[in-house]
């Protein structure tokens, strides 16, 4: 159940807008999974269902020209940063008009126009890349910041140490966000993680770190706002650790059946959209408003899917584009043509 | 003999070797729930969590720890999930595992088997589709195996586990479900370094390995049925050591060689085979030829991904050209 | 023109490019004190510690951070110290730098130059002597350069820095002190992908790169003086893209090809060159040949290390065999 | 100057023996550097001059069948674990009878007979290998432990995180020892290291960690003894952080001139052998005894060098041995023979 917030103080417009965004993400994910079931999408899709408050609460506090590095579970971050859901859906279906022209798919989705520098198929690899993007900002001397998301499983890979050390040594403006959804694919992360967790590890590296309930949109929003304000001012990295739960399977291929039903069921009670709805209702928003937001989000994503299905496949030639400027092979030299 | 899938065959191999030798164990992410493709499903029930060990997401430490544990006399089967993630553990594999025995003057043995499934399958895209077997064949100290059938995936995996050298063992993601006859024998071993003759013919030698064996077999059937071209089809099975003798014998007979692999053609192991044969200077009826992927990362969209794959049609067309030369 | 060492030439290249473009910077361990071989000596005085940046011992983060910084419009020169240590950053180089532009559908550019000195020098042993250029040539998205002279180490490094693609730039540790004429010109660029004709001849084509160019030149001199065998000696300079045209022109003229590299012969880039030429089927007077290191880790003891190296004598002997074929 | 110890309690025999061992290490290093100057050794030699107390204080508390993983700066550890200095000197000169038959050299020195599983040319790579050696011990269920040394620079590489996490997750008996000599080659490590250092990082990973003066042989000896006793009993990893100073250059090729003379000179006052001598004198040991120990050590190592110089070079064939059982190339196929 939602924790009590001082609802008389609630910025209803702000959280209505974030509520809408969370619903859009959820609807996108559910639609994407439907597309997986229909074999419209063949690759892996890792839904962020249950983690929407983190995506929205953090990204809503970023500027459009701030930068974002994401993970295999990146749809929510990407949408919250402002990418077009329609273009993302086309990407998932591998069609013309996809964010990456159909060449990347779910795990490599990117939209540089909104500062989204890419999801990543390699766990934790985005951490040092994020530090480097911030390094460029520092060299250029502008005031942007970088947000870098990763999962609880990622903190056991070398880049967590090397990347956080890097960001702190050079004084780089990065908000690292750990989405602790308790699982690394089918494995309970806690069993494979020593010590007191991500925040303690970050502190040992000299970073300020905060731990919050990641299913509480207000907490996430407030913490992100404060931390981003500090980072923009003092150019020092920080870590935000958000506890949450992966409500569905690891990917569209996984039903998550290694988790007891009771555990999963209990978590549905705490999921962020329901909790945000409760807050908004307590603040006087009518049920009908909330329901229509949900309906609109679903309708938008179903339309995006229909539109994507109708979109043409990419032309074969583009398979050979954007490999490299020097020494690129040409399609004329493709083996089956020679 | 039993009809088993490529996946089941590998699981049987591991189970048998674990029963046979208490020093054999497996480690990798998610193994307790069967591993990413179910290759370990149920093994934990028989062998327990110490021998079917879950690990953190720490490829470098998985490999590094396996090396230390191998030097101390255990025989780890290292699961890298996909060969792409083994790139997070290359120092450990190439600078440590491959060299430890040599640089310590023979004091160390590193009997690890590194399972690294390769290949394209269903929009896995640029970071989950690579076939980098040529890299490992270039590294002194390593053995490189790529099974193409259920039987081989039993016999070669067992041979790899019993081998005292570090072995890079690359299954193909697209073959897990492939069914075939697999000997029940507990001691069924396929010797490392021996090729398999898939089909006998006198017109054209085709050398390939891994999933492409099946593509080539299909092409060979078409060539025979439609053109009376009889392919001598060789499944190399191991890239290091590779069966030079078998390839040479065949090429001397057919006068024509086509090497095919799913990996990028440039710098792929096909180059080594062609170069080795060219250096021997056999009498040829047509220039040596290779087919491989273009030097392009693997794209996501199905029609683009398809462009990266060798098809029976391409093989047929190339074979026809070679027959006309 | 000035007489400069291979090392000085590279430093001049970096200094000129850093003056020309404020977005160029270098990062790596110990750069503030000149780097492990003095390749950066003094640069910090002109450009300061932000642009000649010391780093932690974090090869993976050095590479990863350079990629992020390159995607954001800077042009990092990444110092890996020895190519062996780049193995700690292979995921970053191969899964990220090489693929980012492609998998993001053209949105990213990754203009990094990754300096990875290669080669054997003075008992550096198994973990400090490797030449793995063939690996990178196999990876779509990467450019691979191995300069052999001071002039090239200026012109190619400048070209690499100005190139928008990720470049693996492999100097040879044994060449730092080599002196030669180097153009003063601020815009002296050697085009990527063009071979250099070291010596003109019509009897035998030798293709090589990096330090082996000098070994081959010595052999060519001996062959000419002692046997009237005139070698057409080609310094390939870049392995990707490589100058197929220059090699083919030469082989069509001489009818004989010998490819030589310091790297392990098995799976080395020599195989790619031989295979490519074999596939074209030129008229040959002798079988195509390669020389490379045995498939053995590099040993420490000087007489053993020497066994791993190509010598002028070996080249001469091999050339004589090819001339007799 | 040496800190005051309760010298009346000093176990004179024990520390005389450790004093001798420290002198043997120092003499070995100085002799090896002389061999570098004379071009008898071509490869890199990283002397542990100034760090001898750590080598001896730790290894003297290990059993012969305990295991040791070392670094590029590994001579001291190897000698202290019981390897033959004569065989090591032959290895450095690349001769027959070397610990590794001349195939490894200084950076790969190993002596499995005394549990020394290898120096390592890759910074920090030994950490996960050490964890793995301990993993094998755990699987086999015997009571050995593993000691793993690394430098202050190594704590910024991924294996520090991954390896310590590994050791703690599986409960493995490893004594990690960080030799903080303040430098990583020519770089001041502190400038490249964020946070409070190795001990704090290890604690964040759930390891017990202690920080001591690594130039005080008594402190090292006592701390190592206590920690090793605990580890042998509870099979949990710990970290010992030892502060010390690299008195010479990084390697035989480096004069260390980037360090102010005053800094280096001051450190010579605190070096461990001098401090141990002071303790022993205070406990009543005569100067002549100490001097003769020093002389004997020097004489031993000079003799080892002479003996190594006289030793034959390895036979060419062994270059092809011990690559692999299956698929090994044969010398007959060597390129210059074919
Ligand atoms: C280096 C690497 N190892 C393994 C994988 C396979 N893999 C993909 S997601 C995942 C679990 C990641 O867990 P976590 O970091 O907690 O993120 P979550 O999936 O829970 O969002 C794994 C093991 C990978 N992509 N990269
Ligand atoms: C992965 C890797 N990067 C760089 C080097 C080059 N290198 C050798 S020793 C050294 C410094 C190590 O510093 P530290 O860990 O403090 O050990 P110390 O030399 O001080 O004993 C460096 C950078 C290496 N051997 N391995
Ligand atoms: Mg997780
Ligand atoms: Mg140090």
Q: In this predicted model, what pLDDT tens digit does every residue of D124-134 receive, in sequence order?
A: 999 999 999 99
D282: buried, middle or exposed (CB in 10 Å: 19+, 13-18, 0-12)?
middle
Active site (annotated) includes residue C214: no
**Which of C128, C172, C214, C261 is an active site residue?**
C128
Question: In whole angstroms, what is the distance from residue A81 CA to residue D74 CA?
Answer: 51
Which numbered ligand comes closest to the C-alpha of A250? 1
CATH superfamily to which D7-310 belongs? Thiamin diphosphate (ThDP)-binding fold, Pyr/PP domains (3.40.50.970)
User: What is the tens place of the pLDDT at every residue in C4-58?
Assistant: 999 999 999 999 999 999 999 999 999 999 999 999 999 999 999 999 999 999 9
DSSP character at residue D2: P
User: What is the tens place of the pLDDT at every residue in B14-73?
Assistant: 999 999 999 999 999 999 999 999 999 999 999 999 999 999 999 999 999 999 999 999
Q: Using the atom order of ligand 2, give the atom closest to the CA of residue D51.
A: 21
Say whether domain C2-182 belongs to CATH 3.40.50.970: yes
The pLDDT value recorded for residue A331 is: 81
Which numbered ligand comes closest to the C-alpha of B59? 1
The finding on whether A50 has its CB within 6 A of some atom of ligand 1 is no
What are the backbone dihedrals phi and psi of residue D18, each rounded to the nearest 5 degrees, phi first?
A: -70, -35
Closest CA to B128 of D27, A253, A13: A253
Q: What is the pTM of this model?
A: 0.98
Residue A17 Cα to ligand 3 midpoint, Å, equals: 27
Average the pLDDT over D73-94 and give the result.
Answer: 98
User: What is the tens place of the pLDDT at every residue in D46-61?
Assistant: 999 999 999 999 999 9
The pLDDT value recorded for residue A333 is: 54
Average the pLDDT over D321-332 and give the result.
Answer: 92
Average the pLDDT over C55-76 and give the result.
Answer: 98
3-state DSSP call for residue A172? coil
The finding on whether D228 has its CB within 6 A of some atom of ligand 2 is no
Question: Across the interface, which of A156, A191, A196 has its CB nearest the CB of D204?
Answer: A196
Confidence of residue A8 (pLDDT cuts 50, 70, 90): low
N- to C-terminal Cα separation, chain B: 44
Say whether domain B196-324 belongs to CATH 3.40.50.920: yes
The pLDDT value recorded for residue A336 is: 46
The Cα-based distances of A7 to A21, A277, A279, A280, A284 in angstroms read: 20, 12, 7, 8, 9
Residues within 8 A of C (CB atoms), B 194-213 only: none
Judge whether B88 is closer than 8 Å to chain C, CB to CB: yes
The finding on whether C85 has its CB within 6 A of some atom of ligand 2 is yes
Average the pLDDT over A68-96 and give the result.
Answer: 98
User: What is the tens place of the pLDDT at every residue in A254-313?
Assistant: 999 999 999 999 999 999 999 999 999 999 999 999 999 999 999 999 999 999 999 999
What's the ipTM? 0.98
Judge whether C262 is closer than 8 Å to chain D, CB to CB: no
Identify the residue whose tokens are 């052998």: D273
Judge whether C45 is closer than 8 Å to chain D, CB to CB: no
Residue A36 Cα to ligand 3 midpoint, Å, equals: 21
Model confidence at D210: pLDDT above 50? yes
Question: In DSSP terms, which residues pair with C2 in a beta bridge?
Answer: C182
Q: What are the residue boundaries of the structural domains of chain A, listed by start?
A: 7-310
Q: Using the atom order of ligand 2, give the atom closest to the CA of residue D46.
A: 19
Cβ-based contacts of D185 with chain C (< 8 Å): 29-30, 36
- For A124, residues 6+ apart whose C-beta sits below 8 A from its C-beta are A150, A154, A155, A157, A158, A159, A160, A163, B57
The finding on whether D189 has its CB within 6 A of some atom of ligand 2 is yes
The finding on whether A42 has its CB within 6 A of some atom of ligand 1 is no
Judge whether A158 is closer than 8 Å to chain D, CB to CB: yes
Token pair, residue C324, equals 């007799």
The finding on whether D122 has its CB within 6 A of some atom of ligand 2 is yes
Q: Using the atom order of ligand 2, give the atom closest to the CA of residue D184.
A: 13
Please give, one letter per residue, the 3-state secondary structure of D175-223: EEEEEECCEECCEEHHHHCCCCCHHHHHHHCCCEEEEEECCCHHHHHHH
Q: Which residue of B has its CA nearest to D69?
A: B68
Residues within 8 A of A (CB atoms), D 177-206 only: 191-196, 200-201, 203-206
CB pairs under 8 A between B and D: 152
Contact D159 A158 (CB under 8 A): yes
* Strands B257-264 and B289-293, sheet pairing: parallel
Q: What are the residue boundaries of the structural domains of chain C, listed by start?
A: 2-182, 196-324
Cβ atoms of C209 and C146 within 8 Å: the answer is: yes
Cβ atoms of B250 and B236 within 8 Å: the answer is: no
Contact D162 A157 (CB under 8 A): yes
Which numbered ligand comes closest to the C-alpha of B128? 1
Contact D125 B66 (CB under 8 A): no
> Nearest C-alpha to atom 22 of ligand 2 is from which residue?
D185
Judge whether C52 is closer than 8 Å to chain A, CB to CB: no
The pLDDT value recorded for residue D312 is: 98
Question: Across the interface, which of C103, C272, C280 has its CB nearest the CB of B267?
Answer: C272
Element (H, E) at A256: none
């Amino acid at each position: 159940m939602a924790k009590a917030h001082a609802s008389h103080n609630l910025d209803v417009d702000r959280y209505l807008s974030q509520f809408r965004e969370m619903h859009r993400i959820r609807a996108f994910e559910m639609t994407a999974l439907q597309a997986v079931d229909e074999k419209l999408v063949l690759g892996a899709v890792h839904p962020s269902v249950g983690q929407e408050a983190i995506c929205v609460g953090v990204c809503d506090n970023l500027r459009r020209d701030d930068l974002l590095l994401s993970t295999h579970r990146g749809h929510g971050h990407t949408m919250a940063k402002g990418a077009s859901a329609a273009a993302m859906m086309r990407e998932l279906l591998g069609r013309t008009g996809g964010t990456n022209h159909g060449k990347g798919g779910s795990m490599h989705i990117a939209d540089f126009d909104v500062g989204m520098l890419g999801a990543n198929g390699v766990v934790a690899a985005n951490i040092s890349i994020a530090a480097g993007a911030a390094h460029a900002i520092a060299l250029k001397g502008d005031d942007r910041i970088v947000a870098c998301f990763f999962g609880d499983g990622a903190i056991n890979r070398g880049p967590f140490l090397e990347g956080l050390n890097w960001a702190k040594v050079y004084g780089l403006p990065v908000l690292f966000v750990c989405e602790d959804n308790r699982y690394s694919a089918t494995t309970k992360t806690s069993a494979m993680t020593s010590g007191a967790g991500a925040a303690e590890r970050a502190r040992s590296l000299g970073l300020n770190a905060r731990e919050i309930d990641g299913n509480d949109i207000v907490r996430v929003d407030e913490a992100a706002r404060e931390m981003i304000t500090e980072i923009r001012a003092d150019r020092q990295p920080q870590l935000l650790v958000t506890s949450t739960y992966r409500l569905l399977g690891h990917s569209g291929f996984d039903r998550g059946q290694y988790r007891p039903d009771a555990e999963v069921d209990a978590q549905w009670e705490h999921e962020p959209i329901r909790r945000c709805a409760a807050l908004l209702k307590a603040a006087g928003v009518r049920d009908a408003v909330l329901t229509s937001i949900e309906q609109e989000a679903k309708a938008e994503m179903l339309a995006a899917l229909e539109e994507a299905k109708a979109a043409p496949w990419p032309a074969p030639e583009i398979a050979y584009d954007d490999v490299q400027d020097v020494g690129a092979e040409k399609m004329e030299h493709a083996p089956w043509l020679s | 003999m039993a009809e088993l899938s490529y996946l089941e065959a590998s699981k049987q191999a591991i189970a048998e070797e674990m029963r046979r030798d208490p020093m054999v164990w497996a480690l990798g992410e998610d193994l307790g729930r069967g591993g990413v493709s179910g290759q370990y499903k149920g093994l934990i029930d028989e062998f327990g969590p110490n021998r079917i060990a879950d690990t953190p997401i720490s490829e470098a430490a998985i490999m590094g720890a396996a090396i230390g544990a191998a030097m101390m006399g255990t025989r780890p089967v290292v699961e890298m999930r996909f060969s792409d993630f083994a790139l997070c553990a290359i120092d450990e594999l190439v600078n440590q595992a491959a060299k430890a025995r040599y640089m310590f003057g023979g004091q160390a043995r590193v009997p690890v088997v590194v399972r690294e499934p390769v290949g394209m399958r269903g929009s896995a895209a640029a970071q989950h589709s690579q076939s980098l077997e040529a890299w490992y064949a270039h590294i002194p100290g390593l053995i490189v195996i790529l099974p193409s059938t259920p039987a081989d995936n039993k016999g070669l995996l067992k041979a790899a586990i019993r081998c005292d050298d570090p072995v890079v063992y690359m299954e193909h993601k697209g073959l897990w479900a492939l069914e075939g006859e697999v000997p029940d024998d507990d001691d069924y071993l396929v010797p490392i370094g021996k090729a398999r003759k898939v089909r006998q013919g006198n017109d054209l030698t085709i050398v390939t390995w891994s999933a492409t064996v099946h593509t080539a077999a299909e092409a060979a059937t078409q060539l025979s049925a439609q053109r009376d071209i009889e392919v001598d089809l060789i499944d190399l099975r191991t890239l290091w050591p590779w069966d030079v003798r078998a390839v040479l014998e065949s090429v001397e007979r057919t006068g024509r060689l086509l090497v095919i692999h799913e990996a990028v053609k440039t710098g792929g192991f096909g180059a080594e085979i062609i170069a080795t044969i060219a250096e021997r200077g056999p009498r040829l009826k047509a220039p040596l030829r290779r087919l491989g992927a273009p030097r392009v990362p693997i794209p996501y969209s199905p029609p683009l991904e398809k462009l990266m794959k060798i098809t029976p049609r391409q093989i047929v067309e190339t074979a026809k050209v070679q027959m006309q030369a």
